[in-house]
Amino acid sequence: MEIREKIILGVDPGFHITGFAIVKMGSGRTSLCDWGLLKMRTTDTLVERVGQFHAFFAEKIRQNGITHLALETSFLGKNAQTFLKLGYLRGILYLLANTHALDLAEFAPMQIKATVTGHGGASKEQVAALLFRYFPALNNAPAVQRLDMTDALAIALCGAWHKKTPLSLIK
C-alpha cells in the first residue's frame, strides 16, 4: 500500500493580514516548502476580500499538492462581530478542504506552543526564535512580518507532527 505524502498548509487567517506556511513530511524530516503573507486592502469590500482569500489559497493548494490543512482554534475576543467575520474566512478554508479532499485539523493555541517548543506557556517571541533556529530560510523575511509567519508555521508543524483524528472526520 502506498502511503500518501503529507503536505500541510497552516493558515492564520485575517481580513488584513493572513500568515501561511507549507511544510512537507518526508522520511524522518520536515521541510519548509513555502511561507508568506496574504495582505488584503482594507479599502476593498468584505465580499471582494473573501473572493481574494479563496482564489489565493485555492491556487496554493493546487500548486503545492496540499493534503492536510491545519488551523488554530479561535476564541471569542472583545469584538463579537470581528469574531464572526473571522468565521467567514474559516468557512472558505472548510470549503477548500471539501473541494480538494484535505484532512482538516484544528489545534488549541497552548497545544501548538507545546508541540513546537515543548511548553504550552511559551510566548509568541519564544516560538518565533525557536522556529528561526530550525528553519533559517525564514531569515529572508522582513522583520516586521515574522510573527505573522511563525504563527502560521507553528500551526502547520502541529498539523505535521500531531496524531489526532482530523476534524474533517468529526461531526
Note the residues at the interface with a second copy (CB under 8 A).
Answer: 42-48, 50-51, 54, 74-76, 80, 83-92, 94-95, 97-99, 104, 167-171
Catalytic residues: 12, 72, 148
Of 40 and 138, nearer to a second copy (C-beta) is: 40
**Residue 28, helix vs strand vs coil:** coil
Distance CA 35, CA 40 (A): 16
Q: At closest approach, how far in Å is the CB of 87 from a second copy?
A: 2
CB of 57 to a second copy, least distance (A): 12
- Phi first, then psi: give them for residue 154, nearest 5 degrees: -60, -40
Pick 79 or 123: Cβ nearer a second copy: 79
Burial of 153 (0-12, 13-18, 19+ CB in 10 A): buried
The upper half-sphere exposure of residue 134, i.e. CA atoms within 13 Å in the direction of its Cβ, equals 17
Beta partners for residue 105, in sequence order: 70
Quickly list DSSP for 145-169.
Answer: GHHHHHHHHHHHHHHHH-----GGG
40 vs 112, which CB is nearer to a second copy? 40
Compute CA 72 distance to the chain's CA centroid, rounded to the nearest angstrom. Answer: 7
Please say which residue, 27 or 45, places its beta carbon nearer to a second copy: 45
